Chains A and B, each alone.
Chain A
């Protein structure tokens, strides 16, 4: 989507875990489309075909391709488990904003007053009211990761509610989940259409659209844009989570998965582009609004300082009048100079908001300036909620399926109890993210729990199918299933292009990490009213390492265990014989 933002992707039937991120990058379309053709479609076809052919969930399917790959399925489940732990917090925040949208004026539209009512709260003065609402009134964020603070009861309540909603939807198993997914997948489209009409008619929306469609050469050369596009595609299509394989295993063996894959990726990308048109038009509106406010502030400042007549300074003649004033009153102008900001529309469009804040801060800021902001706010956060719940359903389904299918747990307890226990455990763990430093832990999980592991899982999948299982064997299987062999495009993508791309992404990640030395995060500084960069403390780095290792190590560990088991069996047999 917008650069590295993996949020608000109304999926086409397959539950995918979209995660909100940062850096709205204009001209993202080119990397996105290229990555879709090079990675998204081939890998989607691959996973659907594997699921349809093996007719089992991800753990069983990879075991059938090669017994050494049983770890791949387990890794997918571990990643889904981490994801479900932290992802529902986004839904909790969406609930919070949704409940607060029923007020006039919206609580993030104005700053609260300070204690003696002579002005606004200090922290709110230094930053904007929407940022203050997010950082102080929603998160009550602490200045650093070490200062944990206490659990915020309001957020804890919203988190509990979010988990109750998820439990309600998965209570009856995959059958009921399927029906709910219809609702959660289609409602966002309606809201998007409403927003498209509203967004395109906003003042300044065109600026945002121009920004989105003009390619920027410097950004195209920056590898981060390509990495973001690739991870974006992975997340929105749901590659590597095992849910695609699980869903495909329920299909008819003769289902045309090639057509299915192409259609799904096209629908997915059309929806992404559609959603990003809406986003960028609203973004352009916000940027134009801020730019014009900035200009008005400068005009007011100059009018008051030099006692000029009202209306003599306008946006058009501002620059020439500034020169004139600088020439006629050099001393006073020099005194004022630090306060006169250079307002630039480009700078406004380029402002990046880090982390999940993008979805909440940027949109709430844009919404507060519209007419009837309550309506648009309710619609937007309801849509966000639908998307979030949809992804949570996919995640929890990925965890519950192996649990309910296993003989140890699945046969003994009814599925209501299993789902209840899973939801309860995740809710309790999720309380960590409602503490004052919770958002920093959330960012840790968001950045590291899934990204690297997914890349590795998908890489192993591609290499396994192409080189271990054999691409000729796979071709023959596809021929038996859908009646024709895959053409050269698919084969080249599977065998060479996709693995190479993923390996290069890995290399970029590693070089980036090595170059910056240590890992850093953005902390909110209340005294300055902005984000500052800090280093992660030791235990946080340990948690990051654990997160990445827990899922990636499953693959080699699984292979090792199978190897040991085979050796033991062979020894047993040879001693017997």
Chain B
């Protein structure tokens, strides 16, 4: 009796060892980086955490397919390293000594990735299922790009400034025209004295100090034209 029991146990153990080993069929490698994620609040990876992991995988399988009857004992872990990384398979309790197809496991885990991550206080990056790629969440995009809004505001301000300056410039020009016609009427009555020197007003002369004396006519006109 005892011998038969031992034989069955060893067969089961060997079978489990056969099912769960690195690069086995339908096995997945998991890599966990607790210290990176939690820093000082990091917990140690021990047998209890492994139990929770098995429970989460079983939960995921059950949630994915309502027909599933996966038990915690169906999830096998092996090759746990210090990194913390390990391999796991999910055995099928209905069929003896076989594993659930990898695609099913993958789909189940993908569907429940969030729940699994939050059970361990980790994220997609720190709890990695090496063969299962995670769908990255798209960034939030507003209906109009933000930059166009800012651009529109600045553009309106600048155009308003230009229009204001042009209009005020035109108004000033009109006022100056009116004033100058008034002044012309005034000037006919009053004589404005402008100091002249040799036919040229004085202001032109004093700026070219020294070498060029504006009093004398410019070079081109030295010879009287014919």
Contacts and interface: CB of A to CB of B under 8 A. Distances in A.
A167 B163 CA distance: 11
Nearest to B223: A573
B83 A161 contact: no
Given A172-B169, A307-B81, A308-B83, A55 B208 contact: yes
Nearest to B160: A168
A168 B33 contact: no
Interface stretch (B67-75, B112-120, B145-153, B194-202): B145-153
B82 A308 contact: yes
Interface in B14-54: 31, 33-36
Contacts of B209: 253, 480
B210 A477 contact: yes
Given A118-B135, A310-B34, A576 B226 contact: yes
B132 to A, nearest CB: 11
B192 interface: no
Contacts of A573: 223
A486 interface: no
A309 B209 CA distance: 87
A164 B169 contact: no
What class of interface size applies to chain A in its complex with B? 35 or more
A161 B155 contact: yes
Contacts of A64: 212
A100 B147 CA distance: 5
B159 A307 contact: no
Interface in A115-133: 117-120
A150 interface: no
Given A165-B158, A168-B165, A172-B165, A118 B136 contact: yes
Contacts of A113: 136, 138-139
B133 interface: yes
A303 interface: yes
A310 B83 contact: yes
A307 B158 contact: no
Contact of B151 (A99, A103, A416): A99
B161 interface: yes
A309 B83 contact: yes
A307 B155 contact: no
Contact of A168 (B31, B81, B161): B161
A301 to B, nearest CB: 12
Contacts of A416: 166, 169
Interface in A505-535: none
A96 interface: yes
A344 B220 CA distance: 71
B2 interface: no
Contacts of A119: 133, 136
A55 B161 CA distance: 34
Interface string B187-226: 0000000000000000000011110100000000001001
Nearest to B162: A168
Contacts of B139: 110, 112-113
A303 B162 contact: no
B147 to A, nearest CB: 4
Interface in B43-96: 81-85
A536 to B, nearest CB: 34
Contacts of B8: none
Contacts of B138: 113, 117
Given A171-B165, A171-B166, A309 B173 contact: no
A164 B159 contact: yes
Contacts of A112: 139
Interface string A300-312: 0001100111111
B97 interface: no
A164 B162 contact: yes
Interface in A536-577: 573, 576
Nearest to B36: A310
B11 interface: no
A414 interface: yes
B16 to A, nearest CB: 21
A102 interface: yes
A171 B155 CA distance: 17
A414 B165 CA distance: 14
Contacts of B151: 95, 99, 157-158, 161
A566 to B, nearest CB: 11
Given A118-B136, A311-B35, 20 more contacts: A55-B207, A98-B150, A102-B147, A103-B146, A113-B138, A119-B133, A164-B158, A165-B158, A167-B162, A168-B162, A171-B162, A171-B165, A172-B165, A307-B85, A308-B83, A310-B34, A310-B36, A416-B166, A477-B210, A573-B223
- Which 10 pairs from chain A and chain B are nearest by CB? A99-B147, A307-B81, A309-B82, A307-B83, A310-B35, A99-B150, A164-B158, A100-B147, A171-B165, A168-B161
8 contacts: A64-B212, A99-B148, A99-B154, A113-B139, A118-B135, A168-B158, A172-B169, A307-B82
